[in-house]
Each structure stands twice: as structure tokens, then as C-alpha cells.
Amino acid sequence: MPTRLPQRTRLLPRRDFLQLSALAAGATLLPAQTRTAAPAKSPRLPINDPVRQRTWDAALSTLAGNIHIVPGYDRPVLFEGSVYPGIWQECGPHEGLVYGTLSPHIPQNDGVPTPLEIARNNHMAFFALQRPIGHESAGQIPASIKMTEVGFGQIQMVVPIAATAWELFQLTDDDELLVTAYNACSRWDAWLRQYRDTRNTGLVEGFCAYDTGHDNSPRWAGIPNRCPDSDARKVPPIPSMPRLCPDLSATVYGARVALAQMATALGKGDEASRWHEDAEKIRQLIITKLYSPEDAAFYDLDAQNKFVRVRSDVISRVLGEHVLKRSEPHDKAIFESIWSRQIHNAKAFWAPYPLTSIAMDDPTFNRPTPPTPWPRNVWAGPSQALTALRAPRWMLYYGKQTELNHLMRQWCEAIMRHTEFRQQMDPITGDFTQADPSGYSPAALVFLDFTRRLSQSTQ
């Protein structure tokens, strides 16, 4: 499932630990092999509604049409689709993982890569193109891999690639994926420590709007989209920059938790302990430095130590990595405040079609007056398919199954109206922005994943 899978210590009885440890120490990219389950005999869900069935089939067709090979990596990956010819670190590995979990419900044809193979490729492509040892920016994982270029001009992280790689390993027992991911994500963490903690706070800094994938967001008003010279190591010469970012820091927290689990699976107990310690340090810093109790919100903290008070989906991104532990009373109290005042507040993020990208009662929320449409790819208010796709990663953890079911039904209903798969929709009407063509993979995955989950839910 795309929610965080149950944590377990793997004893790895099949492995030669000496050989595997040697691979972990020196491997950068290993031959692509994976063990996948045989195709299901009855791949479709029992869908009695013809409209839902038609939309289900259209979603599968959309995803099949978005599988391509990118320059620099010779295996097929699942593209973002629509006007996005490539994969992005913030979402591509997660989308691949969700696609992989749908494998039992997807018809399999001979000679066509399975969903789990595509999920693997959506991770391994980033590891294959990581800056090598000896490069001046060694360890940097690409922000994007497009038909036109491999992008290194920002970091563009949201769902940790280490976390999705670990979850994929739990589905496939793919030793080569585990070793490669551990090595690559360890180097990526080292790169972030070196270049994205210039203020020596222990948190992760944002240098530009594309670092968080927040195109056209009031969160980054007045800040360049890319880093200077398209070099993610360079901060723009602006007095308020760099910023300490709660969502980027949460991504690193989630990655370190996953790295600790990988290290345990590899028999590296000392390294696992270090990853756990480092994860807990950054988790505490996020809460103590970047949370505003009076607003019940997480904010960026600029270089002048001022909060950037824009209530955005940064909040749900922090929750996405379980930064607030449900077992700790202090954290639980913070979550309940955020939930009631922000996420589940009908005046803030809980619109008729949740979740909005900016709180509706935030001064920066800007909804065009109907019938004027939303501009394309704008994180200033619309409900985004990527945010919806990430919702099960945290709503189930915090016990919000009923509310998640409502969110999922609303998204499925909106998609089924026109059987199209687009990036964003009006949170009040559920009408999708028409500026870009249909064919957006995250929206197709939203429909398939949500339909599957709703068919299995009893609430």
C-alpha cells in the first residue's frame, strides 16, 4: 500500500551478509533485476457501476500511454504525463510505488513491463543519474529527468525517495534495489547536509520555489523559481534567503527513518542507530523551530528569523512524514490543533473537494471569479492531484479513515464527470482546470488507488 508499510526487522536468512555488505559499501548502480508476483487471474476490481468501470479503464489506458524511456536511462518509466514529459523526484518515485501496488488489478501482457518493474525503474533512474564520486556536486540526485534534460537546478523533494524505495523493497524483496537505494540515499543526505544547511541549524534550507515544487505559490512570492546558474548549491542574493523549510526538513526526516530501516535490513546496526538519532534530531527541530502554536501551522523561517506566514499544503506535507508522533501526548495535542483549526476546517483546507493548496481563509488565497478559470499549475488555492495522492500516507496513520473516505469519494466523483485526468481542480466546484490536456498520471493514480481503497473500506 502507498501508506507507510508496517515496520519490521528483516533477518535476511537468504543473504550472504559479507557479500551484501560489500555491495552496500561500493555499489552505485547494480543490474536491474526484480522478483515480481505473477499477474492476477482476475486483475480488475469488482466494479458494478459502468461509469466507474469506464473511468477505471481510461485511467489504466492513460498510465500505459505515459510509459516511456528517458535519455540517460534505458528502461521505461512512468511519466508525469499531460504537459510533463519526464519524472520528478518530488513525485515520480511515489507515483511508481502506487502504480506497483495496483499490480494485482492491472492486466499484464507479454513483453510489457509490469507495474512493479516500472516502480523499480522510477527509483533506479534517479540513482543511475546521481552525481558520481569525483564530481564537484557529488551525491546530488536529479530534481527531474526529462526528455530534454536532467535537471539539477533545484532539489525538488516532497515524498522521500528513500521511503518509497524502502516500501518497494518490502513489496518485492529486491536486494539490489535495497543496496542501491541505501548507498544512493546516504550520499544524497550527505549532499543536503553540506549544501542545504548553510545556517548550521540542522534543518533543511529552501533556496527557490522549485525546491518544493510550489509553482506560482504565494509561499514563494518574490523568490526565483530556480537557483542561480541552475545550480542547487547556490542561494539567491536576497536578504531573506535562505529559508528553513518544514516540508523539506520533513522529507529528510522521513528519509532518515527509512535509511535506519534499510541499515537494519543490511545488518548495519551502528549505522541504523545513527540514522535514528539524526532523524529524531531534525524531527524535534521542525516542531520547536518551525511550528506556530498561535496559528496551528508550520511555516518557513526566513534568514531574518521571521515566519513566512502563508498557510499552505506545507502543513500536510509535514504530517505526511509522521513528524508528529501519535503516541506522544505533546505531539498528539499539536496534531489535534492542526486538524481542527486547519486541515478539517471548512473555512481553511477542508473545501467541498479537499485539500486546497492554500487555506481558503488565508489572505493569499486567490480564487478567480467564475467563470474565469484557474491558471495552470498554480499552488495558490486549487486542490492538487499530487496532494490527494499523498493523503493516505498520513490520514490513515492519524486515524482519519472516515475523513479520508470522504476525500477519496469527492475526487473520484469529480474525475468521473468527464473521465479525464488533469492536474488541479476548483476546490469549491470540483471542476478541473482545462488549460492543459488530459493524461496526467497522478490524477489517474488517484482514481485507481482511491477506487481500490474505497472497495476495501468498511467505513
Domains, the chain, ordered by start: 67-456 (1.50.10.10)
- Asked if residues 245 and 204 have their Cβ atoms less than 8 Å apart, the reply is yes
Helix 246-265 with 269-290: angle, nearest 10 deg: 160
Tell me the per-residue pLDDT of 169-224, one tens digit each, with 9 for 90 and over.
999 999 999 999 999 999 999 999 999 999 999 999 999 999 999 999 999 999 99
**What's the confidence (pLDDT) of residue 372?**
86
Give percent above pLDDT 70 in the chain.
90
CA distance 442 to 101: 14
**What's the confidence (pLDDT) of residue 109?**
85
Q: How many residues does the chain have?
A: 459
CA distance 318 to 147: 31
Pairing of strands 297-298, 300-301: unpaired
Question: Which residues make Cβ contacts (< 8 Å) with residue 393, sequence separation at least 6?
Answer: 2, 3, 4, 159, 320
Please compute, for residue 359, the number of CA atoms within 13 A of its CA located in the half-sphere on the CB side.
24
SS3 content of the chain, % helix, strand, coil (to 5): 45, 10, 50
Residue 153 sits at the vertex; the CA angle it makes with 151 and 157, to the nearest 5 degrees, is: 80
Residue 292, strand partner residues: 297
CA distance 94 to 60: 17
CA distance 264 to 182: 11
Q: Is 80 exceeded by the pLDDT of residue 346?
A: yes
Question: pLDDT tier at 371 (50, 70, 90 boundaries)?
Answer: confident
Per the structure block, which three cell numbers stand in for 60? 489504466
Tell me the per-residue pLDDT of 116-159, one tens digit each, with 9 for 90 and over.
999 999 999 999 999 999 999 999 999 999 999 999 999 999 99
Tell me the per-residue pLDDT of 45-100, one tens digit each, with 9 for 90 and over.
767 889 999 999 999 999 999 999 999 999 999 999 999 999 999 999 999 999 99
**What's the confidence (pLDDT) of residue 458?**
65
- At 323, the amino acid letter reads V
Phi/psi of residue 67, nearest 5 degrees: -95, 120
